[in-house]
């Protein structure tokens, strides 16, 4: 009798543990009873169900990172190798719809095919060199928009598409580097020329200022002023104790200082 009671207790405990599931934070649970999914989603916590007819299917609603490596076609027909990250999340309320119509393997069933179609459509409009410049962000945004349009209403939200580790063909990489070096050299020369132009302009302004100053001085030196300044200078020199000889042509005197 004791054994029967112990067996019954063990069986009861087993039933209790197998009839509950823990839904963690960042997850939602959907019950599947006799092959049919419920429309109700369950958030974090301990959830009970009938283990004989029901199973709890859990789906992550956190931001997921789907990574892959693939060749991206360019406008000129080149295949550019790139590593790609697709950041996405599942809308909690759409979990039953996803399980019914797509299944749990929604990454390979929907997200990847939609991405491959989007990247083929978008990247074919850009040159290979664009994927190695600031145009890369434009390509990423265009791919995301294309995916958003296709996945609209399916409960899969694309947060970002990131193109990483772009590997251009060797010949194209060399050509791009040479072009960048040429552009940098041209910019350097333009900078030097601009400096020379500024220095020349500065010297021209300085020369013009000196010329204007001389013209102003020359215009102010009338004969009367020159005679007046000369008389002032002679008066100052006359105060010196040294012997001086004055020579005059009747207009302006010339003073000869006798140093002996």
Task: Tell me how far apart the alpha carbons of residues 6 and 24 are, in angstroms, rounded to a whole number.
Answer: 33
What is the tens place of the pLDDT at every residue in 202-232? 888 888 878 777 777 666 666 666 666 666 7
CA proximity to 174, closest of 186, 182, 162, 163: 182
Task: Tell me how far apart the alpha carbons of residues 28 and 30 are, in angstroms, rounded to a whole number.
Answer: 7
> What confidence score (pLDDT) does residue 218 get?
66
Structure token digits, residue 41:
């989603």
DSSP run (H or E) holding 64? strand 64-73
> What confidence score (pLDDT) does residue 13 get?
46
> What confidence score (pLDDT) does residue 186 get?
77
What domains can you pick out in the chain, each with its CATH number? 2-59 (no CATH), 64-171 (3.30.479.30), 223-258 (no CATH)
Of the pLDDT bands very low, low, confident and very high (cuts 50, 70, 90), residue 66 is very high
Q: What is the mean pLDDT of residues 65-92?
A: 88
Indicate if the pLDDT at residue 252 is higher than 60.
Answer: no
**Which parts of 124-236 are beta strand (E)?**
156-167
> What confidence score (pLDDT) does residue 238 get?
63
């Amino acid at each position: 009798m004791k054994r029967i009671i112990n067996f019954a207790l063990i069986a009861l405990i087993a039933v209790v543990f197998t009839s509950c599931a823990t839904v963690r934070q960042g997850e939602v649970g959907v019950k599947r009873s006799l092959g049919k999914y419920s429309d109700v989603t369950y958030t974090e916590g301990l959830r009970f169900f009938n283990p004989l007819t029901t199973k709890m299917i859990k789906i992550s609603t956190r931001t997921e990172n789907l990574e892959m490596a693939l060749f991206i076609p360019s406008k000129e027909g080149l295949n550019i190798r790139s590593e790609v990250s697709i950041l996405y999340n599942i809308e909690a309320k759409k979990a039953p719809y996803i399980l019914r119509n797509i299944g749990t393997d929604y990454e390979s069933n929907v997200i990847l095919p939609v991405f491959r179609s989007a990247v083929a459509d978008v990247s074919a409009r850009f040159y290979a060199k664009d994927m190695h410049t600031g145009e890369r962000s434009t390509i990423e945004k265009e791919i995301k928009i294309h995916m958003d349009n296709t996945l609209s209403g399916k409960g899969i939200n694309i947060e970002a598409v990131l193109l990483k580790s772009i590997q251009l063909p060797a010949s194209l990489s060399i050509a791009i580097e040479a072009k960048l070096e040429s552009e940098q050299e041209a910019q350097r020369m333009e900078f030097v020329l601009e400096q020379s132009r500024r220095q020349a302009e500065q010297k021209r302004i300085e020369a013009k200022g000196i010329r204007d100053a001389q013209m102003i001085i020359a215009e102010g030196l009338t004969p009367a002023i020159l005679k007046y300044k000369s008389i002032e200078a002679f008066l100052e020199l006359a105060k010196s104790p040294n012997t001086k000889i004055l020579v005059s042509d009747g207009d302006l005197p010339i003073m000869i200082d006798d140093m002996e």
